[in-house]
Amino acid sequence: MSMEQVSSTSTYSPRIPVEIYETIIDILALADIPSLKNCHLASRLFVPRCRSHIFRSIHLSSRDTPHRHSGEDLYTLLSASPDIAFHIRELKINVFYHTDFLSRGLLEASKMLDRLEVLWVGSNLRPKHRHDTDEALLHWDALYLIQPTIYRLLQVPTLRELHVMMSIQGFPVSWLRNSCIKSLTLDWSGLEDDELDTMTPCSSSLLECVTINHRFHAGSYSLLTLVHPKGSDGQLQPVIDASRLKVISIPVYPPLMFNAALPLFQGGNLTSVILRKIDSPSDMPSLRDYLAPSLHSLRRLRLEVSIDDVMPDSGTTMVQILSYELATLCGENHIETLELDVKIKTDRTFDIPTEWEDIDGVLAGSGWPMLRRVVVSICPNRIRLEEDCEFYLALQSLPTSHLMRLMTSSRTIFDFSFELHVL
């Protein structure tokens, strides 16, 4: 064999389309991170795709906890390999105390994250007592060491989501107005109106999605800071332009907070609404009053309902009110997907309200002409009852006993699920 033949044979390798090995790497990223990291070392051809998964989400914390890193660690990494910054799309900053992130590493690293899409800022501090709104909260003013970093990241043009998480209070609303984010989540956190005396004309934010996970008065104040006109004379635009909003997810309790959210529903362009924590008949909102401006655009409605069957007639009353409220939307809505997430608490004395048949008639009738999918999820709390007891069996048979029209409908896909929750 000639030298040319040997050379040709030793360097020959089959050519695999890039799309194939990228697809394989994408699959590894879903379930086998160790193999993904080994793949990263196998060939330079695999490096960009592997890095896009390995470094997509970064979690920072100053505490010595597994798989967590500090801002200084991130800066060291990006200084050694600047191209990694291109792959970072999500950054989670977990703050324990106001002395966190003393070094400038986090700020310097933030200057390299010009492709960031999702930012999480949170704290592991939580109230010792669930119903104490002011205990063990971490105010934004105490976090002055990381404020320049957060402000810098909010100016990244690609940033689309901001999550202000556990115990962080007093986040300035002006920072939301001046960023490019489209989605805001407040999870046991609160905002501060820092624009009370401003006289500078300013436009509303670009927010399209608002999620509130808070059940106490801080949530009410946060909503007011978002929806009320600003400035000393009240003539400046509110932080949120309700006409831009597409998605709202909010608990209906306490009523003060839910009432404060009413302006969010007035924009007329909502496509998805999630109403959570409907825990008693008195909590059920007037769906028509809140949804009427967007009935022409609304495509998805999700209601998370709790039924306390331990209280006499409570379960029947809740289903009656739910049926009535759904009926008020008949004839005008364009909803395509309705989701009913129902949690049930009961004892050995129970009943399956016949009013479920009324809901069946409302949704399967002509009043919901665009309805294409109905999802009913039943989750009873198991209290001293066997899994095969009559009540649980009756709930599992709800589609054939009370929701027959939906189950047999040729127009609507009906999904029913049943899952026990053990207390």
Higher-pLDDT residue of 120 and 317 is 120
Q: For the chain, which residues make up each domain, given as ranges?
A: 13-54, 268-423
How far, in whole angstroms, is CA 336 from its chain's centroid?
21
Residue 40's pLDDT is 80
Structure tokens at 387: 């899994």
User: What helix, strand, coil percent values describe the chain, rounded to 5?
Assistant: 35, 20, 40
- Measured from the Cβ of residue 372, the count of other Cβ atoms closer than 10 Å reads 13
pTM for this entry:
0.86
Structure tokens at 130: 């669930």
Contact 274/310 with Cβ under 8 angstroms? no
Q: How would you classify residue 217: left for phi > 0, otherwise alpha for psi between -120 and 50, otherwise beta? A: alpha
Q: How far apart, in Å, are the Cα atoms of 127 and each of 65, 122, 134, 170, 313?
A: 22, 14, 8, 16, 35
Residue 18's pLDDT is 78
Query: Which of 95-104, 220-229, 246-255, 325-334 has the least mean pLDDT?
Result: 95-104
Residue 97's pLDDT is 59
Whether residue 376 has pLDDT greater than 60: yes
Residue 133's pLDDT is 47
Burial of 18 (0-12, 13-18, 19+ CB in 10 A): exposed
| Most distant pair of Cα atoms in the chain: their distance | 94
Q: Summarize the confidence of residues 17-25 as an average pLDDT.
A: 83
Residues 6+ apart with CB under 8 A from 134: 127
Q: Which stretches does DSSP call E strand in 290-411?
A: 300-308, 337-345, 373-382
